[in-house]
Structure 1
Amino acid sequence: MYGTPALPPDFVSLPHANPDAPKGGAITLANTGSFDSLNPYIQKGNVPWQLRFLTHESLMGRNRNEPFALYGLLAESIEVPEDRSWVEFTLRPEARFSDGTPVTVEDVIWSYETLGTEGHGRYRSLWTQIESLEQVGPATVRFTFNTENRELALLAGMRPILQKAQWEGKSFSDAALADIPIGSGAYVISDFEAARNVVLTRNPDYWGKDLPFMRGTFNFDQITIDFYGDGDVVFEAFKSGNVSAIREFNAETWSSQYDFPRAQSGDVIKSEIKHQKPSGITGFVMNTRRAPFDDWRVREALITAFNFEYINDTLTGGAQPRITSYFSNSPLAMEPGPAKGEVAALLAPFNGRLLPGVMEGYALPVSDGTLRNRQGLRRALGLMKEAGWTTQDGKLRNADGQAMQFTILLDQQRTEDRAIADLYTQALSQMGIDVKTELVDGAQFTARTTTFDFDMTYHRRAMSLSPGNEQYFYWGSEAADQDGTPNLMGAKDPAIDAMISAMLTARTAEESLSATRALDRLLIAGRYVVPFWQFTTGRIAHIDEMKYPETIPIYGDGPDWMPQFWWYEE
């Protein structure tokens, strides 16, 4: 994106891979809930989330130690002009799907057209920015763009490539469970039992095993994904040896609950993985498409009523810091205090229409840490009064006498979210707000959040060190009205759209940084989410036979680090 890639043309392997890692072994991972689809590229169904990272490949791949840079994967060469109005990819002649057939330009064109029109919502934004897609050589495809966006040349290399021939005469968007997409990745789905498990086997004839970019990756012979009712059952399965590795997101649980016999004997190892990536946003998101969440003062009051210091101490032992912005824990985070320099200049055209705190600086309310949090609740009630809600007969009512009431929608498998909601609703009840927690299964939760059918719900959106076009999908105005986008809050702000545009047209890293920090101000001062704690350290408990390289990428752990860069060693 900016300047020259870090790795030379003759690099041996990615810096965070072990090129000498042995192949072999089998591991079992665990998901909660169920699945009714094995096609992660369509809107329909619940899919094991790991599949996107194991079975299919894109034209280019990411070095997890280097933001804003991609390297050839299915493509052996990439050509772009100075203005990046188009990009050409030439396919590697050895690239093959798992059934041995070659990956062709026809497959590439079909994949982009199909994903852009029938696929999951995450793929559609790019398609609207492609003016034309054509074959310009025996193995070369050209993308021409219809908008100024310097990141598009990179994004065009990051979509999964599917096999066109597999879907002739079949409906892609309405695929049945047995219609497993054929990919070119290192693993194939070799077996599955509906709603119970999925077995992935490493393809011994995988075409890319000798590529420097892939050397030392995808080392396990078999990966089984088992499904369980909830996180507590998963933990018991791990303790008994039926699951090989789990990620732990609660620091208090990590320090107090991992002293079972297999951990004491050394059969289970606790690994802490530091990272430098942004916190993203985790918390209870408010649906601004509905009253009363369309009033920023109500949203501020609900954030103020959330007794973070007490809840954090109760549930994590106070070990995890709070999310203070969407890019916490990284250089991309907004700076405290008033907006300055280029950040202020970017926001200036919208001054007068910005919410309080954007230009002046915004900090989350801090409670006194006690259970009662009287000062915080008094401030919250004051904000509610400014918004037209007053206490009448012990209930918070508006001018028409209507009581404030709403529902927090939660996935019943996520026990920690329920514990947070229980403590939160106690405080809201003291304010005279009628709040109910609605627990649904994973399929219903996905369906409800996909169609924005909720008042308040749990939301987690990870962020990268190279933010770009996906930000439109996360909180752009158009995404607010498109089912399936992560814009759960319904953000519709021309200033947000403008900051994303500034990120995408930036020609230097400094310009991109200013636009990102300006965007961060708009998001956190938008008061869309009641933020929880951030995860500055990844925590993975795993069997002793599972090993990983000494060099940890700056992105730390993630779905494309474990199990991709790990290996099995007796």
Structure 2
Amino acid sequence: MTPRASTHSLRIGLTGLAAALALAGPAGAEPSHGLAMYGEPALPAGFDHLPYANPDAPFGGAMVTAEVGTFDSLNPFILKGTVPWQLRFLVGESLMGRTLDEPFTLYCLLCETVETAEDRSWVEYTLRPEAAFSDGSPVTAEDVIWSFETLGTQGHPRYAGFWQAVESIEQTDERTVRLTFNQDNRELALLSGLRPILKKAQWEETDFTESGLDTVPITSAPYVIEDVQPGRSITFARNPDYWGQEVPFRVGTNVLDELRLEFFGDETTAFEAFTSGQITFTREFNVGRWESRYDFPAVQSGDVVLEVLGHERPSGMTGFVMNTRQPPFDDWRVRQAMIEAFNFEFINDALTGGEQPRITSYFSNSPLAMDHGPAEGRVREFLMRFEDDLPEGALEGYSLPVSDGSERNRAGTRRALDLLNEAGWSVAEDGVMRNEAGDPFTFEIVLESGSSENASIIDMYGQSLERLGIRPSVTTVDAAQFKERTDVYDFDMTYFQRGLSLSPGTEQYLYWGTDYAEEPGGRNLMGATSPAIDGLIDILLTSESREDFLAATKALDRVLTAERYAIPIYQWNISRIAYDRHLHHPEEMPIFGDWNGWQPDVWWWEED
């Protein structure tokens, strides 16, 4: 069967991007229904529903997805424990909700109105009087204040950076809370709207930092955890008494009665579960399997629908990250040699038939992507502020090497050898790459069990490295061990994935900011400590014009790419999904495409 193509109108996407990035001051100190990073929200006060949601979607039905790995905790708001990544999106609810049709615009959810100063130095939320937790108790200003303080001081490190920027938080009315900031960062007002709100009373005599399967955080979200089979499945049930079904941001969303996550040991078993009908929705990341294996009987009969969805968000970075905290990857020449030795064209042809494009930079596939070739104009001006700290290629231009596609990749191997020689490494008489002290060049690649494709890629990569006299060790660990090791940066190279949005902001500090390079459980896996990166993020966050915002992001993209932190692999500028024919989604796709907030949020089930 030929996959059914569905893409969002380019005109709508570009219009949304332009509106969100247009230079315009936000309304100051006036109650509003929404808040945009730049300009005004696209949807007016009193809007009925999100444009990519179906207000007539019927309630009922179920969606079952396959997950590779396991879990040992149901608290997604702390560092401890292994939690399914979807959990904080399914059971968490915040003051505002993020639309997927604008780069960074929020609309009121738990809050009835939002106010902010013209300079975004403070923001104030007034709660909806009907807002309630799943146990029926009201969401109060006290709950809001406790949630901000607790997440900021005891929660997952992802919340700590924001809390450090809060000068004060106070209750100014029965249902109103104001946050005042101590930094010049226009994004903070929006980030505050995305913090999950928890029930204070649940944790008064419980240690919030402890994880397990016996404590489920009480939130106000549409779904509650109904059943847990440890390590095997988690079932979510739609709360029939959910307080917010008539809130415009929620109309037409979260109508499926049941969501279930089924866990499997590897990708092969998960795929077999889908072909047998045990799973009703899947995303396929292996283009070779998509082209060759999705012709099973249920597809041929029409019981399973195949679909390809486009999007307009940045590619982000997917590949294998190198830990720069210690040798040998603290030398950019060694990192470039590793990139030269990685024969992407041969690997891509072997695994996908050459069908999958490669990521070319962190913000590729978007208007925020760096331009190849020498930096010009405002981008160059921003880079020159950090001239002494720029990696080679940031100003002149940097692009990934392209091989001839042959297995031996002679040109890439020669370039890798030259770079390693410059860095003090050479092939000894025994055929082993050694430094001047005679130490062999070796490093450990840590992989999570269950990913057969990553294992195949590393196997072919290892053969290329052997031609250089380098024999890395490959260690495969389960999900819990993988998290433990990456939390303390106990690896030399590992699989790495970072999704990026059309409105990059404070999260950039978390991903590659110096202050987070040694933070346990942080997201700066490469250990980036670049004054240029830190400075460009500062400019990005304080830009007051569309031009400066774009230029700062393009400059940041240049530095990140030229630092050679990661070996990029496939670019996912489309989503390949397959699902039971009874499942449906609206025809209009948001500019973010298949992203958190779209599936399962706007899907519904219809019987024949």
Hey, what does 1:515 align to over in structure 2?
552
How far off is 1:240 after superposition? Answer: 0.4
What amino acid does structure 2 have at the position aligned with 1:328? S
1:432-451 alignment runs, 5 A limit: 432-451=469-488
Equivalent position to 2:401, from 365, 369, 377: 365
Moved more, 350-359 or 9-18: 350-359
Unaligned runs of 5+ in 1: none
Matched, 1:34 2:70: yes
Paired position in structure 1 for 2:26: none
Give 2:296's aligned residue.
260
The 8 Å contact of residues 329 and 335 in structure 2, kept in 1 or not, is answered as yes
Instruction: State the partner residue of 2:564.
Output: 527
- What stretches of structure 2 of length at least 5 have no aligned partner? 1-36
Deviations 1:34-59 (A, max 9, x none): 11000000101111221111112101
Instruction: In structure 2, give the amino acid aligned to 1:64.
Output: L
**Counterpart-to-counterpart distance in 2, 1:353 and 1:148:** 24
Which of 285, 310, 317 is 2:321 aligned to? Answer: 285
Compute the TM-score of the two structures, normalised by the length of structure 2.
0.93
CA distance in 1, matches of 2:366, 2:200: 41
Structure 2 match to 1:474: 511
% same residue: 57
Q: Distance in 2 between matches of 1:542 and 1:323?
A: 27
C-alpha separation in 2, matches of 1:56 and 1:395: 52
Counterpart CA distance in 1 for 2:580 and 2:528 is: 43
State the distance in 2 between where 1:239 and 1:68 align: 37
Q: In the TM superposition, what is the alpha-carbon distance from 1:100 to its structure 2 partner?
A: 0.6
Distance (Å, rounded) in 2 between the aligned partners of 1:260 and 1:7: 43
SS in 2 for 1:70: strand
Could you list the per-position Cα deviations for residues 37-82 of structure 1 after superposition, in whole angstroms to 9, with x for gaps in the alignment? Answer: 0000010111122111111210111110101211111111111111
CA-CA distance at 1:175 after TM superposition: 3.3
Task: Please give the residue correspondences for 1:448-463 in structure 2 after superposition, counting only pairs within 5 Å.
Answer: 448-463=485-500
| TM-aligned CA deviation for residue 28 of structure 1 | 1.4
Alpha carbons 2:282, 2:579 under 8 Å: kept:
yes
> Mean alpha-carbon deviation: is it higher for 123-132 or for 505-514?
505-514
Distance (Å, rounded) in 2 between the aligned partners of 1:144 and 1:157: 13
Contact 2:96/2:106 (<8 A) preserved: yes
Q: Deviations over 1:301-330 (max 9, x none)?
A: 000000001101111111111100000100
Q: Are positions 1:506 and 2:543 aligned together?
A: yes
Picking from 106, 122, 136, the partner of 1:100 is 136
**Any residues of structure 2 matched to 1:287-306 within 5 Å, and which?**
287-306=323-342
Q: TM-score, length-normalised on structure 1? A: 0.99
Q: Which amino acid aligns with 1:159?
A: R
Specify which of 430, 434, 453 is matched with residue 467 of structure 2.
430
Paired residue for 2:446, among 392, 406, 409? 409
Point out 4+ residue stretches in structure 1 off by more than 3 angstroms. Answer: none
Q: Cα deviation per residue 1:120-178 (whole Å; 9 max; x = unaligned)?
A: 11111100100111101111101010111010010111110000000111000013321
Aligned length: 570
Equivalent residue number for residue 390 of structure 1: 426
Counterpart Cα distance in 1 of 2:510 and 2:448: 23
Which amino acid is the alignment partner of residue 497 of structure 1? Answer: D
Question: Partners in 1 of 2:54 and 2:110 — Cα distance?
Answer: 21
CA RMSD, Structure 1 to Structure 2 (Å): 0.8
- The alignment partner of 2:305 has SS state of strand
- Paired residue for 2:257, among 221, 224, 234? 221
1:56 maps to what in 2? 92
> How far did residue 352 of structure 1 move?
3.2
Q: Which amino acid aligns with 1:72?
A: C
CA distance, structure 2, for counterparts of residue 318 and residue 210 of structure 1: 48
C-alpha distance in structure 2 between counterparts of 1:535 and 1:353, whole Å: 31
Alpha carbons 2:167, 2:179 under 8 Å: kept: yes
Matches within 5 A, 1:64-143: 64-143=100-179
User: What is the distance in 1 between the residues matched to 2:176 and 2:342?
Assistant: 55
Partner secondary structure for residue 49 of structure 1: coil
State the secondary structure of the residue aligned to 1:214.
coil
Look up the SS of the partner of 2:445 in the other structure. Answer: strand
> 1:492 aligned to 2:529?
yes
Distance 1:4 1:261 in 2: 50
Q: Out of 263, 283, 307, which is 1:247 matched to?
A: 283
Residues in 2 aligned to 1:248 and 1:366: alpha-carbon distance in whole angstroms: 26
1:180 maps to what in 2? 216
> How many angstroms apart in 2 are the aligned matches of 1:352 and 1:510?
24
Which residue pairs with 1:16 in the alignment?
Answer: 52
CA displacement 1:215-255 (0-9 Å, x = unmatched)? 11011101111111111100000000001111101112111
1:379 counterpart letter in structure 2: R
SS at match of 1:132: strand
Aligned to 2:597: 560
The residue that corresponds to 2:23 in the other structure is none
Answer with 469-478 or 191-200: which moved more: 191-200
| Shift in Å, 1:201 | 0.3
Contact 2:97 2:108 in 1 (8 A): yes
Separation in structure 1 between the aligned mates of residue 46 and residue 108 of structure 2, nearest angstrom = 13
Question: Could you tell me whether the CA contact under 8 Å between 2:389 and 2:530 is conserved in 1?
Answer: no
| CA distance in structure 2 between the partners assigned to 1:4 and 1:85 by the alignment | 18
User: Aligned-pair distance for 1:30?
Assistant: 1.4
